[in-house]
C-alpha cells in the first residue's frame, strides 16, 4: 500500500481526498527510510517544503523524556525571562524613536531647522513612506537571513542615521533622514513578533508580547526625564559644545542603541534551535509546544505560492482594514507636546506631562495582557475593549470647554496610547500559518498601518488650531470603527473554526498517524511526517484559529 493510500485512525494522508494537503509540493525520491526500512512508495520532501526545525526535532525527539506539566511551566518561564530580557531592548529603542521627534518639537528644533508646522507634519509622512518602501523587501530579507541579523542590523543602521540628525539645517534634509529611518525600522516589530511566536504558542504569545510592548514604553519615561533636564540645562547655558537640547537628546539615543546592539548580536536567537540558554532536550520540548498547535516555527525558504494565498484570503484583508483604521489616529501622540503648549503650558511642563502618557499606556497594556491571560475573552474582544479609553479621551476633548485645561490634558493623555497595534499584529500572525504567508500577512498589515500614518498628520493642520475640533471628531470616529472590525474578524474566524471542528471530530488529530516521508538535508536523511510541512492555515484544516 502506498503512503498516499495508507489509512489511519486520523484519516490523514499526504495527498488524496483530504483537501488539507492538496497544494503541498512533494516529489518522489529514493525509497530509503531510517532504521534500514524500505518501501517503494516513500515520498521525499526538500528542506524548503518543511519547517526549518523539522530535521532537528525529528533527529532528537526520541532521545528526550516526556514533557510533564511541571517541566512545561519551568520551560515557559525560562524562555520568557531569557527572550524578554533580550527583546525588551528592541521595544525600548522603538519607543525611544517614536518619542524623539515629538520631544524635539518643544526643544528648539524649529529654531535650528528651518521648517514650518506643516513641514513638521510631513516628517511623519516621509518616515512612513520609508516604511512602505522597505516592508515587503524587509519581510523577504528577514526570512532569508534570520530575524536575529535583520533586527540587529536594522538597529545599527538606525543609530547611524539618528546620529546624523543634529547636523541638519533644513526641513528637506530632515525629511531625507526620516525617510531613511523609516526604511531601517519598518520590519523590526513584525520580525520580533514572529520571533516570540517561535517560542510560545497562541495562548501565551499574545500576552507575552503585550508585556514586551508595555515594558518598552518605559523608554518614554526615561526620554522625557532626559528631555526635561536638557531643556533646563539649555536655558541655563550649561550644555557643552553650544548645541541645542534636542541635538543632545539624539546623541543620547545613539549611544543607548549601540550599547544594546552588541549583546543582541551575540545572544538573540533565530529560533529555539539556536537559543543559547536551552539544552537539546529543552529545544525539542519548546518546538513540540508549537507543533501541537500546527503553527510552525520557522522556514527560511520564501514561497511564492504562499504569497498568492495571502492576498486571496479574506481574513488577510480584514486584518489589513482593521490596521488601517487603528493607525489613522496614531499621529495624535506625536502632536501632544504641541497641543499641551497650545493649552498655555511651557515646553518644560509639556515634557513633564509626557511622563504620564507612557505610565498610563503601560498600565493599559498590562491590563490587556492580564485580560488575555485570566479571562476567556480572546484576542478579538480584548482588542475591541482596549479602545474604550481612547474613545473616552476623544469625547472629553470634544465636550470639554476650552478653559477647562485639566480635562483637556486628561483627554490627550488617555486617548493616545493603546495596545491594539501590537495585539492586532500578533493576532494576524497567530491566525496565519505557512511561514512566508505569515511574514507577508504581518508585513502587509504594517504597510496598511504605514499608509494610515502617512495620512494621519494631514488631520492636524495649523488651520484647526487651537481647538482642533475636526481632527478630534475624526479620531473619535476611528476609535469607534476599529473595535467593530475586531468583532467582525472574531466572528469570521469563529465560523471557520466550527467547520474545522467537524472535520477533526471525523478524522482526528493524531501525530502518530500522520503520513510519513523523508527529509533530505545536506548531511543526512531524516524521517518526518506531514506535521513538519510548512502548510498554510487554508491547507491545514487541523489548525484552529485563535479568537
CATH number at residue 227: 1.20.1250.20
Distance CA 18, CA 300 (A): 27
Domain count within the chain: 2
Distance CA 131, CA 143 (A): 17
Burial of residue 62, with CB atoms counted within 10 A of its CB: 0-12 exposed, 13-18 middle, 19 or more buried: exposed
Classify strands 525-529 and 516-520 as parallel, antiparallel or unpaired.
Answer: antiparallel
Distance of CA 370 to the CA centre of its chain: 19
Say whether both 291 and 318 belong to one domain. Answer: no
Say whether both 521 and 425 belong to one domain. Answer: yes
Q: What is the pLDDT of residues 268-312, one digit of tens each?
A: 998 888 889 999 999 989 988 887 776 666 666 788 889 999 999
Question: Domain for residue 261, yes or no?
Answer: yes
CB 88 within 8 A of CB 73: no
More confident residue, 255 or 325: 325
3-state secondary structure of 43: strand
The H-assigned helical ranges of 165-244 are 171-185, 188-197, 205-216, 218-235
pLDDT value at residue 495: 93
Instruction: Summarize the confidence of residues 196-202 as an average pLDDT.
Output: 85
Dihedral sign, CA of 370, 372, 374, 377?
positive
Say whether both 255 and 358 belong to one domain. Answer: no
β-sheet bridge partners, residue 518: 44, 527
More confident residue, 433 or 219: 433
Question: Ramachandran region of residue 420, left (φ > 0), alpha (ψ -120 to 50) or beta?
Answer: alpha
pLDDT value at residue 323: 94
Instruction: Summarize the confidence of residues 350-358 as an average pLDDT.
Output: 70
Half-sphere exposure (CA, 13 Å, Cβ side) for 382?
29
Say whether both 242 and 319 belong to one domain. Answer: no
Say whether both 285 and 315 belong to one domain. Answer: no
Res. 488: pLDDT tops 90: yes
Task: List CB contacts of 504: < 8 A, sequence separation 6 or more.
Answer: 541, 542
Candidate from 418-427, 438-447, 489-498 with smallest mean pLDDT: 418-427
Confidence bin at 74 (pLDDT 50/70/90): very high
- The grid coordinates of residue 177 equal 533622514
CB 133 within 8 A of CB 121: no
Res. 459: pLDDT tops 60: yes
- The grid coordinates of residue 266 equal 551575540
More confident residue, 9 or 217: 217
User: Percentage of residues in the chain with pLDDT exceeding 70?
Assistant: 81
Res. 133: pLDDT tops 80: yes
**Domain end point (choices 298, 317, 352):** 298
pLDDT value at residue 75: 92
Q: Which residues of 504-527 are buried (b: 16+ CB within 10 A; e: fewer)?
A: eeebebeeebbbbbbbbeeeebbb
Say whether both 362 and 418 belong to one domain. Answer: yes
Say whether both 381 and 487 belong to one domain. Answer: yes
User: Percentage of residues in the chain with pLDDT exceeding 90?
Assistant: 14
pLDDT value at residue 296: 61
Say whether both 242 and 371 belong to one domain. Answer: no
Half-sphere exposure (CA, 13 Å, Cβ side) for 284?
16
Average pLDDT, the chain: 78
More confident residue, 344 or 19: 344
Instruction: Summarize the confidence of residues 224-240 as an average pLDDT.
Output: 71
Say whether both 103 and 170 belong to one domain. Answer: yes
Say whether both 392 and 532 belong to one domain. Answer: yes
**Domain end point (choices 264, 298, 332):** 298
**Domain end point (choices 255, 271, 298):** 298
- The grid coordinates of residue 516 equal 510519513
Say whether both 170 and 315 belong to one domain. Answer: no
Task: List CB contacts of 209: < 8 A, sequence separation 6 or more.
Answer: 193, 196, 422, 423, 426
Going by C-alpha positions, the residue among 430, 450, 429, 449 that lies closest to residue 441 is: 429
Question: Domain for residue 232, yes or no?
Answer: yes
Question: Domain for residue 1, yes or no?
Answer: no
Half-sphere exposure (CA, 13 Å, Cβ side) for 19?
5
Going by C-alpha positions, the residue among 305, 295, 291 that lies closest to residue 436 is: 305
Distance CA 510, CA 289 (A): 15
Domain that holds residue 208: 51-298
Question: Domain for residue 110, yes or no?
Answer: yes
Res. 86: pLDDT tops 60: yes
Say whether both 420 and 468 belong to one domain. Answer: yes
* Residue 530: DSSP 8-state: G
Maximal C-alpha separation, the chain: 87
Distance CA 345, CA 29 (A): 74
Amino acid at each position: 500500500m502506498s503512503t498516499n493510500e495508507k489509512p489511519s485512525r486520523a484519516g490523514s494522508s499526504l495527498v488524496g481526498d483530504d483537501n488539507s494537503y492538496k497544494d503541498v509540493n512533494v516529489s518522489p525520491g529514493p525509497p530509503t527510510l531510517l532504521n534500514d526500512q524500505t518501501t517503494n512508495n516513500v515520498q521525499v520532501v526538500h528542506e524548503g517544503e518543511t519547517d526549518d526545525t523539522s530535521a532537528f526535532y525529528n533527529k532528537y525527539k526520541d532521545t528526550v523524556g516526556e514533557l510533564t506539566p511541571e517541566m512545561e511551566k519551568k520551560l515557559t518561564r525560562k524562555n520568557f525571562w531569557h527572550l524578554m530580557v533580550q527583546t525588551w531592548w528592541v521595544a525600548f529603542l522603538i519607543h525611544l524613536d517614536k518619542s524623539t521627534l515629538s520631544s524635539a518639537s518643544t526643544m528648539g528644533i524649529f529654531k535650528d531647522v528651518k521648517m514650518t508646522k506643516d513641514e513638521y507634519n510631513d516628517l511623519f509622512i516621509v518616515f512612513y513612506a520609508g516604511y512602505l518602501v522597505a516592508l515587503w523587501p524587509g519581510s523577504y530579507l528577514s526570512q532569508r537571513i534570520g530575524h536575529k541579523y535583520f533586527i540587529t542590523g536594522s538597529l545599527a543602521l538606525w543609530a547611524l542615521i539618528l546620529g546624523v540628525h543634529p547636523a541638519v539645517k533644513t526641513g528637506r534634509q530632515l525629511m531625507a533622514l526620516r525617510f531613511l529611518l523609516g526604511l531601517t525600522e519598518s520590519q523590526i516589530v513584525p520580525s520580533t513578533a514572529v520571533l516570540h511566536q517561535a517560542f510560545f504558542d497562541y495562548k501565551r504569545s499574545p500576552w507575552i508580547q503585550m508585556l514586551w510592548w508595555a515594558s518598552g514604553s518605559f523608554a518614554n519615561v526615561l526620554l522625557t526625564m532626559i528631555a526635561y533636564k536638557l531643556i533646563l540645562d539649555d536655558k541655563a547655558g550649561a550644555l557643552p559644545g553650544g548645541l541645542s537640547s534636542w541635538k543632545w537628546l539624539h546623541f543620547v539615543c545613539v549611544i543607548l542603541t549601540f550599547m544594546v546592539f552588541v549583546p543582541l548580536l551575540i545572544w538573540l536567537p533565530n529560533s529555539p534551535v539556536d537559543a543559547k540558554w536551552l539544552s537539546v532536550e529543552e529545544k525539542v520540548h519548546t518546538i513540540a509546544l508549537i507543533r501541537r498547535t500546527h503553527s510552525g516555527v520557522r522556514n527560511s525558504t520564501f514561497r511564492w505560492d504562499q504569497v498568492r494565498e495571502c492576498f486571496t484570503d479574506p481574513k488577510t484583508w480584514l486584518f489589513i482594514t482593521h490596521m488601517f483604521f487603528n493607525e489613522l489616529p496614531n499621529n495624535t501622540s506625536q502632536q501632544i507636546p504641541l497641543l499641551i503648549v497650545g493649552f498655555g503650558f511651557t515646553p518644560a511642563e509639556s515634557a513633564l506631562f509626557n511622563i504620564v502618557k507612557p505610565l498610563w499606556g503601560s498600565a493599559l497594556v498590562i491590563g490587556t495582557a492580564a485580560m488575555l491571560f485570566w479571562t476567556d475573552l480572546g484576542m478579538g474582544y480584548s482588542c475591541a475593549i482596549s479602545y474604550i479609553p481612547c474613545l473616552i479621551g476623544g469625547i472629553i476633548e470634544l465636550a470639554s470647554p476650552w478653559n477647562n485645561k485639566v480635562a483637556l490634558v486628561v483627554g490627550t493623555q488617555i486617548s493616545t496610547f493603546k495596545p491594539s497595534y501590537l495585539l492586532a499584529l500578533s493576532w494576524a500572525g497567530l491566525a496565519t500559518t505557512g511561514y512566508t504567508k505569515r511574514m507577508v500577512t504581518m508585513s502587509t498589515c504594517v504597510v496598511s498601518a504605514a499608509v494610515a500614518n502617512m495620512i494621519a498628520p494631514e488631520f492636524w493642520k495649523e488651520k484647526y488650531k487651537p481647538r482642533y475640533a475636526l481632527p478630534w471628531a475624526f479620531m473619535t470616529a476611528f476609535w469607534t470603527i476599529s473595535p467593530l472590525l475586531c468583532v467582525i474578524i472574531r466572528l469570521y474566524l469563529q465560523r471557520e473554526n466550527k467547520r474545522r471542528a467537524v472535520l477533526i471530530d471525523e478524522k482526528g488529530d493524531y501525530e502518530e498517524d500522520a503520513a510519513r516521508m523523508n527529509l533530505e538535508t545536506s548531511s543526512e536523511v531524516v524521517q518526518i511526517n506531514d506535521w513538519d510541512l510548512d502548510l498554510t492555515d487554508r491547507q491545514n484544516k487541523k489548525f484552529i484559529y485563535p479568537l
